[in-house]
Homo-oligomer: A and B are copies of this chain.
């Protein structure tokens, strides 16, 4: 491919609306184009990358006995009514009608379609286990698409579904798939991806993991223990705090605290310790707008996901109107309206005397002791873990918090879908049972963007060679100089004939502009052919990551490039862990 023929243009200037680097670089590099909110087209350069990512994933899925299938994007609503998700999933699920007013949905995930496909096939135990997967477009009507390809509404996803006759068999396969996922990221040149325990969200099921590429711009917070292997998404991370009661109870007093609507105001006004205060965060249930109050220790934040799982239905931050049974700024667990559901976080457990809102405009309680004053308190885990917290696994105060982009996820679904959709098999004794399912997803475009986010410099992406759009770029700095052009042309032909993926810039443009664009296209190996280099009968060979920068005799250039290519691939391969 010649750069002069490559569809998609490259820009010098960073587009105004890009807040993260990968987004800006992929727009500047002619990788993709905005079509609509959270919707992009892929130019050839990105399509080449996503095709390579798909090939890596496909190979690994086949390796673990996956069979490729294809489900439709548009599905009849009945399928989703069977599983119950037509009602339970929110606005992310696009519901539409066809010309006959029949209800349809746009596939945002395909558990229902998977069960529908194999419901008859899987009627006997001897068919199990099996795994099917597909690459298909998904549409999720995200409220806030952002960060380019990282969070879009339409995307290509590899989604896989496994079926088993026992939880043990699922767990065995889940472990194999867990390894396959690591291998996929290793092969794609991002071995640094870590797996973390995660919240199963709308998928249901119990155990699940996410694969996270750590980067400061990631939208997920990851809880990592520096002392052991514990890793969890903040949404799912257990928070451990032990307040040691000294038995120093105080008298419960209602104190006037004028204009003290925040924890800081109150603690400052009363000269009290924020770690002995009670913070109220108020939500409403989506279904009936009734109020849910989360009480956490003043120095903690509420973990909405854990709260939502506890409540068992969707909630949103509350709007406290005048007729609400709550006094904004002065909400506390004692004497709270019985129209309100409230939860006390474990961070409040063991505190002898705390400061909390008095549910009365301008007043707080001091000396509140939850057990004494409220009676039997059931503490729940609804706070966010903080830096330096105690690890729930090893017990050491070694928790650190990083940010990451989720590049894949795997779930143990159990029988949620097979039961709801009445998929059964007869076991060895002829008894009817529900198969146990797992599901396994990777967003292809997001993976490309994440790799760019984790591997770039100010000039462009630094693609690992296994997924780079081209392996080699030849920059011919003077097409009007015959020797330069002939040398570059010949190398282009020779490398192409040897099966090397080469992009060739033979445009008559300034070297600076050519190099800038080459940085954006980001072939891992660059060969610079110029009259100056040729004076020394050499070409310059550099890698995009700057580890190699050498003058190589023209007649050795071909061998050098092909060897370098092999070396770069071998480096990646060396980080791929074998299956256990």
Q: Which residues of A contact B (CB under 8 A)?
A: 4-9, 30, 33, 35-37, 39-44, 46-48, 50-51, 65, 67-76, 78-79, 91, 94, 96, 98-99, 102, 104, 106, 113, 116-118, 120-121, 126, 130, 132, 134, 136-137, 139, 141, 143, 153-154, 156
Contact = CB atoms under 8 A, between A and B. Distances in A.
B130 A7 contact: yes
Contacts of A96: 94, 96
A21 to B, nearest CB: 22
A44 B72 contact: no
Nearest to A123: B9
25 contacts: A4-B126, A5-B65, A5-B130, A6-B67, A7-B118, A7-B121, A8-B121, A35-B79, A36-B75, A37-B102, A39-B72, A39-B75, A39-B76, A42-B70, A47-B69, A72-B137, A73-B73, A73-B137, A73-B139, A74-B139, A74-B153, A96-B96, A99-B141, A136-B137, A137-B137
Contact of A69 (B9, B41, B94, B98): B41
A278 to B, nearest CB: 36
A138 to B, nearest CB: 9
A67 to B, nearest CB: 4
B72 A40 contact: yes
A199 B569 CA distance: 51
Contact of A76 (B35, B43, B47, B98): B35
Nearest to A90: B99
B94 A41 contact: no
A113 B35 contact: yes
Contacts of A8: 121
Contacts of A46: 70
A91 B102 contact: no
Contacts of A50: 70
Contact of A36 (B76, B121, B130, B153): B76
Which 4 pairs show the lowest CB-CB distances between chains A and B?
A: A36-B76, A42-B70, A44-B67, A91-B99
B74 A39 contact: yes
Contact of A141 (B35, B98, B106, B126): B98
Contacts of A136: 137
Contacts of A40: 72
A134 B137 CA distance: 13
Contacts of A33: 116-117
Nearest to A113: B41
Contact of A7 (B35, B69, B73): B69
A13 to B, nearest CB: 14
A122 to B, nearest CB: 9
Contacts of A130: 5, 7
A44 B71 contact: no
Given A6-B67, A36-B104, A46-B70, 7 more contacts: A36-B79, A37-B98, A39-B74, A41-B117, A73-B154, A74-B106, A94-B98
A3 to B, nearest CB: 12
A78 B69 CA distance: 34
